[in-house]
Amino acid sequence: MTPGTLAVALAFAAIGAGAERLASVWPSDEASRRRPGIRTGLLALAAGLAGGALAWRSTLPTWALGVHLLILAMLVVLTATDLEQRRLPHLLLDALIVVAALFVPFNPSVDWLNALIGGAVAVAFMGLLGLVVRGGVALGDLYLVGPIGLVLGWPAIFVAVFVAGIMSAGVSAALLLTRRAGLKSYIPFGPFLVAGMVVTLLRDPSLLGRVAEAVSALLH
């Protein structure tokens, strides 16, 4: 691990912990002001691993990696608020949508047409799912999956949503078996969408830099 990758991992661990603490007091109308606990440490660990892994895996230009990390930082804060308050604040969602949309024509790994298709398909699929499964998709999830689709493009967004669905089903089953949740309990889907995006970025050989660039970097 390079010093730069380690620095990114430590910075994101701090962002994760800070986001969890922020979610306990903001948005203020439903703030619990809960003390730091195991969730603080887990979110710090997850954010640190995600940020460090993206930096380690990337062969993108520094500016492009910076945009990905900025988007990831926003997603970490949204994950914290969704876990704590079951909400995705529009203040952050709107900023995320703007950043993702501005990145579309400049993303070196996803051409603009695939990016637009990815965003449109993601929103359409989640909207249809929300109509079929009553209460299964929150409005905030529609706003969240759109910019994720713009960043990943088509068909990578399909993989991200599929991974998110598998993770959500697994966690839901575990909570039901341990009786920590019931059949009517609401389990936020936003954190799973974020996890699906990170997994897809790390597993797809082109999203964080073309394969040829990675090989060239290794040879030199």
Give the CA-trace dihedral at 131, 77, 9, 216, to 10 degrees.
50
Looking at residue 30, the DSSP 8-state letter turns out to be G
> How many domains is the chain built from?
1
Mean pLDDT of 87-98: 95
CA distances from 68 to 26, 37, 39, 152, 217 (A): 24, 28, 24, 10, 20
Q: What is the CA radius of gyration of the chain?
A: 17
Is the pLDDT confidence value at 35 over 60?
yes
Yes or no: say if 120 and 150 are a contact pair by the CB < 8 Å rule: no
| This prediction's pTM | 0.91
What are the pLDDT digits (tens) for 162-175? 999 999 989 888 88
Residue 148 CA to residue 92 CA, distance in Å, equals 14
Domain of 141, in residue numbers: 3-219
pLDDT digits (tens, 9 = 90+) for 13-25: 999 999 999 999 9
